[in-house]
Structures are given as C-alpha cells and as structure tokens.
Amino acid sequence: MRILLTGRSGQVGWELARALPALGEVIATDRNTANLADEDSLRRAIREARPDVIVNPAAYTAVDKAEAERHTAMQVNAAAPGVLADEAKRLGALLVHYSTDYVFDGEKRTPYVENDAPNPISHYARSKLEGERAIIATGCRHLILRTSWVYGPRAANFYQIIRRRAEANQPMVMVDDQTSVPTPSAFLASETIKLLKAGGTGLLHLVPSGHATRYDFAREVVRAMNSRSTVEAVKSDRFPSPARRPTYSVMSSASAGELLGEAFPDWRILLERGMKAWTQA
C-alpha cells in the first residue's frame, strides 16, 4: 500500500509519519512538496505518488487569524481538501481528512454525534466545514475524522504553554466556560491506524472520553508535574478574541469505538501517559 501524507512537520503529521509505516510505504510531504495553498503543487504531488491512501492532517489552524486571512483559510481548509478528494476519486484512493469540533455552535449540552447539524460561528470553523462538504461532494472514498483541542510534545499548543508556566511555578489564569475534549496527537495517529485496518469510512468523531475546560486541563498538568503554580478560573470575556468559540463542543466517539470494539480512555489517563512518555524521551 502506498500512502501519501501531507503536513509531515505538524504535530499530528509527525505522529502519523511514525505510525503509518505499519500499513505500507509512506510518502511524507510538507508545504515545500505538497502545498495546500497551491492547487498545481498539490495535484502534481498526488499524481507523482499515485497513492492508494491520502492522509491529510495539514490545515490552517490559526483560529483568530482566520478572521482576517479568510481567503487563505478557505483555500487551505476548504478548496485543498476538495482537490485531494478529486484526485483520490480519479485514482480510486481513500482520503483520510481531519476536521474539528468547532463546526458546532456549542448550543447543545450533551455530546455531539455525527448526525448533529453543524453551525460554525467562526470563519475558521466555516472553512473546515466547507472542507468536509467538498470531500463528500466528490463522491470519493473518504474517512473524515472530527477531533478537538489537539496537543502534544511538538508545535505550539496549549499544553506547551501550560507546561512551561508550571515548570517555572508561575501563576496561571485559565478560561472555565469553554468545554471540549483534550486530544493527544499520538492518540489520533494510533486510532487512525486502527480505523484504517478496520475499514472505517464516512464521518466519525475521534476524541478520548470525558470532557474538560482549559482550567480543568491546566490543573491536571500542574498536578501531574507537582508544580507550585496556582490556576485561577475566569470567564472567556476576560480574553476578548477576534473569533468566537463554542462554549460546549464535546463530541461522542461512540461510533468509532463501536467500529473498533473498544472504549476510548479518559483524557486524563492519556495526558498522564503522554507526559510520562515525553519526560522519558
């Protein structure tokens, strides 16, 4: 099996580059060899590779900047997945693509399932939803995985910010009125491999069990590190931002779990497991 991977330098792409060789030959690309903002570059990379599977973790993820850089966000998150899907259909390949909990407006108060109606409230979220729709519209074989609050040992993410402050025993102020599911990049990669082996297709939610606010997450990191940092809970209006975020975007991964015949661990277990592994690495 030949697998074309985009975004190999990103936090999810890096984990996938390590995990995907279990399934076959991996052609790992970055923006220099398969630029999602350049349709010609993207099509050329796919046609040269002639993959059986295309895995696309690459995305425009700057939620606030997307309010100003709307064209770029739409090009990378919506138009490029459509190109990938078009090429996948031409080759008879499977396209694996990652989307976001932010496609929901947060008005619900129980975990979102796959057939809940999306209603994005930011331009970033609209661009990601348009990417999902572009893929489905081509009729290609696809596996779209919605996830949330991705973190890991690489790249800039909220875990890294909290870890650095906790190491310095600095006080923190964290929002406690936005609730979702923290998801390790390594979890996404390993479960993607399982889903591919199981023949998963369509649209699935893929997050650990449980839910948290940023405040909850920070407290858990501080506890695990035995830090003397204090964490103060505040409302999100303390930190005005260009983009609106849903107050509740917890998703249920029951469908993915049923397909794999497993229950996903609680986010706290995965956080503690990951922190131990990163410390020992």
Provide the pLDDT for residue 281.
56
Q: Does the predicted model carry a pTM greater than 0.85?
A: yes
Are the beta carbons of 17 and 5 closer than 8 angstroms?
yes
The type of residue at 267 is: W
* Cα distance between residue 232 and residue 174, in whole Å: 6
Active site residue 102: no
> In a structure prediction context, what are the per-residue pLDDT tens digits for the chain, which is 281 residues long?
999 999 999 999 999 999 999 999 999 999 999 999 999 999 999 999 999 999 999 999 999 999 999 999 999 999 999 999 999 999 999 999 999 999 999 999 999 999 999 999 999 999 999 999 999 999 999 999 999 999 999 878 999 999 999 999 999 999 999 999 999 999 999 999 999 999 999 999 999 999 999 999 999 999 999 999 999 999 999 999 999 999 999 999 999 999 999 999 999 999 999 999 887 65
Provide the pLDDT for residue 280.
67
Tokens of 125: 């979220």
Provide the pLDDT for residue 278.
86
Tokens of 111: 């975990």
* Cα distance between residue 189 and residue 196, in whole Å: 11
Q: What are residue 53's phi and psi, to 5 degrees? A: -135, 135
* Cα distance between residue 83 and residue 58, in whole Å: 13
Identify the helix (H) or strand (E) that includes residue 99.
strand 94-100
* Cα distance between residue 68 and residue 192, in whole Å: 32
Catalytic residue among 102, 124, 151, 248: 124
DSSP at 42 = H
Domains and CATH numbers, the chain: 2-155+182-208+250-265 (3.40.50.720)
Q: What are residue 261's phi and psi, to 5 degrees? A: 70, 35
Look-up: residue for tokens 């060789």?
21
Provide the pLDDT for residue 154.
82
* Cα distance between residue 122 and residue 105, in whole Å: 9
